[in-house]
């Protein structure tokens, strides 16, 4: 199912923001599915600044496709981590980027690439009939999942 957004006509910038927010909501839906074994009934992103909301009702097939996309992105990140080949992607966000003076896209020279970190192995295991399964990380993963920097909160409902 796609997103729904009451009362807001999406221009080009609005469409881009909505696409980014939808990616975020799919990620949270997938994390909930894989950690709790249930696809959330609905996720709602609430923008605190303008009280706008974006609702998303996921389905398992769509989340499975999204998971394959995430795995492909992760594999590309791992390849780049091993080779140090990180391509610059200039955009309007460059104006706020702390790395701009060193960025090749703006005539800069990045510092030497350090030793690549240990490759992170991710193993997904599931029992027959169990759609969720579990992920294990080697070396262990540390950190947390936040709600991003969009001045927004995510509400997920299950069951």
Q: Which residues bind ligand SF4 (CB under 6 A)?
A: 88-90, 93-94, 97, 99-100, 103, 105-106
Q: How far is the CB of 87 from ligand SF4 (least distance, A)?
A: 9
Q: 25: burial class by Cβ within 10 Å (0-12, 13-18, 19+)?
A: buried
User: Smaller CB distance to ligand SF4: residue 89 or 157?
Assistant: 89
Cβ pair 94, 107 in contact under 8 A: no
Q: Which residues pair with 159 in a beta bridge?
A: none
User: Smaller CB distance to ligand SF4: residue 5 or 100?
Assistant: 100
Residue 124: strand, helix, or coil: strand
Q: How far is the CB of 100 from ligand SF4 (least distance, A)?
A: 4
User: Smaller CB distance to ligand SF4: residue 17 or 100?
Assistant: 100
Q: How far is the CB of 147 from ligand SF4 (least distance, A)?
A: 22
User: Smaller CB distance to ligand SF4: residue 61 or 98?
Assistant: 98
User: Smaller CB distance to ligand SF4: residue 104 or 133?
Assistant: 104
Q: How far is the CB of 104 from ligand SF4 (least distance, A)?
A: 8
Q: How far is the CB of 102 from ligand SF4 (least distance, A)?
A: 8
For 136, what's the count of Cα atoms within 13 Å in the CB-facing half-sphere?
4
What count of other Cβ atoms lies within 10 Å of the Cβ of residue 3? 17
Cβ pair 124, 134 in contact under 8 A: yes
Spatial neighbors of 57 by CB under 8 A, at least 6 apart, are 1, 4, 41, 42, 43
């Amino acid at each position: 199912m796609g997103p729904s957004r009451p009362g807001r006509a999406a221009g080009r910038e609005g469409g881009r923001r909505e696409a980014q927010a939808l990616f975020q909501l799919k990620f949270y839906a997938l994390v909930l599915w894989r950690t709790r074994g249930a696809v959330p009934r609905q996720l709602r992103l609430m923008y605190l600044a303008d009280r706008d909301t974006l609702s998303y009702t996921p389905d398992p097939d769509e989340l499975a496709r999204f998971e394959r996309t995430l795995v492909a992105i992760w594999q590309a990140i791992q390849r780049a981590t091993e080779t140090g080949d990180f391509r610059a992607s200039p955009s309007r966000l460059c104006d706020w980027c702390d790395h701009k003076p060193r960025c090749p896209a703006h005539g800069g020279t990045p510092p030497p690439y350090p030793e690549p970190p240990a490759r992170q192995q991710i193993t997904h295991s599931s029992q027959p009939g169990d759609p969720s399964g579990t992920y294990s990380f080697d070396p262990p993963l540390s950190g947390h999942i936040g709600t991003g920097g969009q001045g927004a909160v995510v509400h997920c409902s299950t069951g």
